[in-house]
């Protein structure tokens, strides 16, 4: 079992034009650049869900990226729920 140290978790729901525009790849690259573990996936309602684990500062940086969005996306809202880490992820993946 890995120690979570000072890691926290952010569950984010991104609304807008965020599917079919390279948004998940954008999130994956941003998360890896911030040293964040977790995953991103499309939801059936057209939103994108992100589960991100890292330091509070790294997660805040990722949330800023989520608001910015990829070149072709149009983000209208980002909802963030802060949680304690339960399941520890070793990397960041795109879930399909």
CATH number, residue 46:
3.30.70.100
With CA atoms as reference, report the closest residue to 55 among 13, 3, 9: 9
Question: What's the N-to-C CA distance of the chain in angstroms?
Answer: 26
**Token couple for 67:** 């608001």
Rounded mean pLDDT, 21-35: 98
pLDDT at 5: 59
- Rounded distance, CA 92 to CA 31, Å? 7
Residues spanned by the domain of 49? 8-95
C-beta neighbour count of 3 within 10 angstroms: 8
Q: What is the mean pLDDT of the chain?
A: 94
Q: How many residues does the chain have?
A: 96
14 found inside a domain: yes
pLDDT tens, residue by residue, 43-79: 999 999 999 999 999 999 999 999 999 999 999 999 9
Residues labelled as active-site residues: 24, 42
Rounded mean pLDDT, 30-47: 98
1 found inside a domain: no
Query: Considering the entire predicted model, what is its pTM?
Result: 0.92
pLDDT at 2: 45
2 found inside a domain: no
pLDDT at 42: 98
């Amino acid at each position: 079992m890995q120690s979570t140290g000072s890691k926290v978790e952010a569950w984010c729901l991104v609304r807008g034009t965020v599917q079919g525009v390279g948004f998940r790849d954008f999130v994956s690259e941003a998360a890896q650049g911030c040293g964040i573990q977790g995953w991103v996936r499309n939801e059936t309602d057209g939103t994108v869900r992100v589960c991100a684990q890292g330091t509070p500062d790294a997660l805040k940086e990722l949330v800023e990226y989520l608001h910015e969005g990829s070149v072709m996306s149009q983000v209208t809202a980002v909802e963030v729920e802060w949680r304690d880490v339960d399941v520890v992820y070793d990397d960041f993946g795109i879930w399909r």
